[in-house]
Structure 1
Amino acid sequence: MKIGRIETFYVAPRWLFVRVESDDGAIGWGEASLEGHAEAVDGAFEALRDRFIGEDPFRIEHIWQVGYRSGFYRGGAVLMSALAGLEQALWDLKGRALGLPAWEMLGGRVRDKVRAYAWIGGDRPHEIADAARGRRDQGFSAVKMNATAELDWIGTPRLFDEVIERVKAAQDAGMDVGLDFHGRVHRPMAKQLAKALEPLGLLFIEEPLLSENPEGLRQISELVSTPIALGERLYSRWDFKPFFEAGAVDIIQPDLSHAGGILEVRKIAAMAEAYDIAVAPHCPLGPLALASCLQVAACSPNVAIQEMSLGIHYNVGADLLTYCKHKEQLSPVDGYLPVPSAPGLGVDIDEDAVRESNKDRHRWRNPVWHLKDGSFAEW
């Protein structure tokens, strides 16, 4: 068996799917979505096709090592997202060919299901409360929400009153809450906001600072007891290593479509386990990314909770299950996602719908924000 074809598809609302086909007709799907940069990732596949058309698709680790190391330049969001999508597709192909879920080939199950959380939004507490009750009615017991819009470098704690009210509204609706700072808050205010939120008993605060500021993250971790989560903008085990060593994070959030794929994230999770750090994979993406996350959750003891994009505000024109033939494969049950039992990634993709969406290729871009003085603000 040899790799015969590697295809990419721009899929609404903002995803990039990968399809690998062997010379004898075996097929696997993966997801190389990098939000806002689909064109760049798609371009990286030119080199991957040159290297791997004609290679044995079962040699996944070997292909990953060659893909990572052989181009001289390593890592980064674009190259690692392309490699992640290809790697996922190879696990899917191999699993389907052998009749095994990917997790079965990675050591077997340590759990039957994983707790999931969904996103909620709203600018006012009553909107948050309504959204939280809606998620509760869907069976979720945990949600995540953005902490703030753009913030200046400095300010007073009065700016945090609205944040606290919104969190309390979700908690009063019966939900555990994770709060995403989204890297929007600079250190002078992040310290104050983290301290103000501590009495609320959050599941975690996510990206209180960008990962490019590890010294500030350590300061915040020493200031509050709230678990600190981070990792969606880290792309390999080498990127995560200094955060483990610094003791600055409690929960890591590698993205299966950004951080090299299934086996690389399994290795990152194993490193985290040695430091008693939990894993909550980042996944505001599509069904193949989520299915890949569940393969890691199935065989990694320190996966604590899983993000999913069902009904997320980014999903305009298509939602998480739009391209799934069997929607129950990725549907939550009482706030948990079952470990997939079907071969490969455990999700069946509607290829006709994918090809149809690719005819009108999306050009998704994130918003650009500015502060009142006209300077750039983190989104």
Structure 2
Amino acid sequence: MKIVDYELFQVPPRWLFLKLETADGLIGWGEPIVEGRAATVRTAVDEVMDSYLLGKDPHRIEEHWQAMYRGCFYRGGPVLMSAIAGIDQALWDLKGRAFGAPVYELLGGKTRDKIRVYQWIGGDRTDEVGTEAEQLCDVGYTALKMDAANQMRHLEPPAVVDEVVSRVEHVRETVGPSIDVVVDFRGRISKSLAKRIAPKLEPFDIAFIEEPVLPENLEYLPTLASQTTVPLATGERLYSRWDFKPLFERGGVDVVQPDVSHAGGISEMVRIANMAEAHDVAVAPNCPLGPIALAASLQVSATVPNLLFQDHGFDIYPAPKSAADNYLDDASVFEFMDGYLDLLDEPGLGIGIDEEAVRERSQRNLNWHNQVWRQEDGSIAEW
């Protein structure tokens, strides 16, 4: 068996799909993407595929991962690791289909029968986040995530800090004590401001604070951890086990959040989860992406023992048609009930892609990029 062809499809709203094909007609799908840098990652996938993977046996996944990573002098980073991630997903999809088994079986088998999931609530006003939180609880979620704030200066007056606290307090009062609430700082808050805000959130028993500091400033995480009882999480902007290594060595982290489309794919995400287990750290995979990425992430979540819960980025409960439904043969494969998703038991990643719909939608003119946020004085703020 050899890989003889591949195609890339940039599709709405901001996703990039990869299709691998073997000489005997077997198809595998992956989702290599950096949000807002789809064209850049596309070029990286082209380089890897054309210079190395075409003509190779797709079953030798570990060898290919090592070659893609170690076969160049400059390694790591979001672009290269996201390209590798999507290719790795597609290779696992191919292998699962070839053996007639879901990927989690090839990874050692399931450690659970269903996967707890959580979703993000938007809204800038306190009443908006409360309403959205209530809506998620009403359809069955037992965990949710909210933003702490929008752009923040390095230090803010008490009124701004109180506003953050009041938003969290309102959500906690709305959903009650049986729901896990994650508060996402998104790295928008400085270490100086984080140490003021984090202790004020302790009375609300939140599940954890996500990205309390920027990935560039993770050396301050142990200090922050010593100043609050709130668990701390990070990792969606770390891209390999080597990025996570100093995080585990320094301590201070309670939950890691690798993204299967950024952190080297299924192969690397399993290794990161295993490293986390050895350090008594839970895993809550990040996945605000499309259906292929979610399927790949769920295959990992089905097998790693230290899973806390799984993020997802599009509607999976009974609701108006989501963007992901446009690309699936059967959108009901993401079976949601009482805060959990069923395992994907079909071969490979466990989903069927509507290739005709992917081709049609890839013809649209897409140019999604992050906004550039500015402070009141015109300086650049964290997005």
What SS does structure 1 have at the residue aligned with 2:17? strand
Matched letter for residue 136 of structure 2: R
1:348 to 337, 347, 352: 352
**Partners of 1:54 and 1:361 in 2: CA distance:** 32
CA RMSD of aligned residues (A): 1.4
2:276 matched residue in structure 1: 272
1:9 matched residue in structure 2: 9
1:147 matched residue in structure 2: 148
**Partners of 1:82 and 1:25 in 2: CA distance:** 23
Matches within 5 A, 1:213-292: 213-292=217-296
**Partners of 1:243 and 1:6 in 2: CA distance:** 36
Deviation per residue, 1:18-46 (Å, 9 max, x gap): 10000110000011121000011000122
Deviation per residue, 1:229-271 (Å, 9 max, x gap): 1001100000000000111210000000000000110000000
2:37 matched residue in structure 1: 37
Runs (4+) off by over 4 Å: none
Equivalent residues of 2:85, 2:264 under 8 A apart:
yes
Equivalent residues of 1:157, 1:193 under 8 A apart:
no
Q: How many Å apart are 1:318 and its aligned residue?
A: 5.8
Matched letter for residue 144 of structure 2: V
Equivalent residues of 1:13, 1:318 under 8 A apart:
no
Deviation per residue, 1:346-377 (Å, 9 max, x gap): 11111111111110142111111111111110
1:71 matched residue in structure 2: 72
Q: How many Å apart are 1:339 and its aligned residue?
A: 1.4
Deviation per residue, 1:73-128 (Å, 9 max, x gap): 11110000001000100110111111011010010010011110011111222211
Flag structure 2 segments of 5+ consecutive residues without an equivalent. Answer: none
**Partners of 2:361 and 2:326 in 1: CA distance:** 11
Matched letter for residue 45 of structure 1: V
1:187 matched residue in structure 2: 191
1:48 matched residue in structure 2: 48
Q: How many Å apart are 1:321 and its aligned residue?
A: 3.1
Q: What percentage of aligned pairs have identical amino acids?
A: 51
2:337 to 311, 333, 336: 333
TM-score normalised by the chain length of structure 1? 0.96
Count, aligned residues = 375
2:214 matched residue in structure 1: 210
TM-score normalised by the chain length of structure 2? 0.95
Relative distance call for 1:325 and 1:172 in structure 2 (3 A) is farther
Q: How many Å apart are 1:320 and its aligned residue?
A: 3.3
Matched letter for residue 140 of structure 1: Y
1:18 matched residue in structure 2: 18
What SS does structure 1 have at the residue aligned with 2:28? strand
**Partners of 1:171 and 1:320 in 2: CA distance:** 30
